[in-house]
Structure 1
Amino acid sequence: MPEEEFRETIMFEWRLRDLKSLFDASTANQKSQVIKSSLFGNGQWQILLYTNSGLGSSKDPASGTISLFLSCEPTMGEKQAADGSDLGWVREGAYGFTFEILDINKTEHIVTKEARNHHFSQKTANWGWAQFASRESVFYSRPSIRREDALLLMCKVEHEATTGEQI
């Protein structure tokens, strides 16, 4: 007998502008400050971007990588359900997510990464990549990105549920 499957999908587009100042401010081998997207998906999700993971060379500003994470923001219901629990809040179900970086006009694909079967909780609120892509490939060697001084970061979050699980 076939098993039914339901997928709830949230799509979010984040336009990042003034990239030159963001990337130039995070040169050398120092980890950059976090840049946070607005909350999306009814306030349940947020993207965390570091334009420098801190793993580059102090002699080459284009060296190193960017870091990108999906952050789970607990709902009031999740917080209330966690009251008194040593484990804290838990988001029910397994989630997959995809990050895709494009030029601002959506004509040039730069990089895509996908993760599956992640569970979010107070102890594991953020999932992603400390070394998502090289700074060189995302900004410094991209004429279209440098010309527009902007890029588009697309995020797809997918909750997979089998028959009987409520979303």
Structure 2
Amino acid sequence: MDKIKEKLEKLRIESETHAGRAEKAEAEVKQLKDELAKKDTEVQNLNNKVTLLQMDLDRSEKRVEEVKLKKSEGDKEDSLVESLQRKVKMLEEQLEDKERSWRESTDKARNVELQAEQHERKAKQLDQERAELEKRLEDMTGKYNNVKAELESTLKGLEDL
């Protein structure tokens, strides 16, 4: 009987341990999802910046074309063309930097999403283990109650003798 109690206690402790692990995994999943949401927001912000920089680049390129036309007509706007070309080059470099940053953020977001999926799978597995342990606990409790009833019946039979 003490062995049964010990086994039941071990099963209860295992069940609590697995439940704690499952809660921890769920908390990690939640945290990773929050990080993923932050990264998605960051990616969206970077996309907006890239769009704005692309628009700036387009406007600058148009201005460069206009300046080139004026120059061909004889206007002396060489310094403006040079400054616009420098600005275009600078904007192109900024665009490249932003695109690189966007790609890195996207990769990080993908990694976070993969980790979240792994943690979700692990949480499901732990839930299944917990369910199995609970079923085993119920089975053991039923067996214990049957043995206890049988023992009481035997003791009662002995008392009647």
Q: Same fold (TM over 0.5)?
A: no
Q: TM-score, normalised by structure 1?
A: 0.21
Instruction: Please identify which structure carries the higher helix content.
Output: 2
Q: TM-score, normalised by structure 2?
A: 0.21
Instruction: Please identify which structure carries the higher strand content.
Output: 1
Instruction: Give the number of the structure with larger relative contact order, counting CA–CA contacts within 8 Å between residues 6 or more apart.
Output: 2
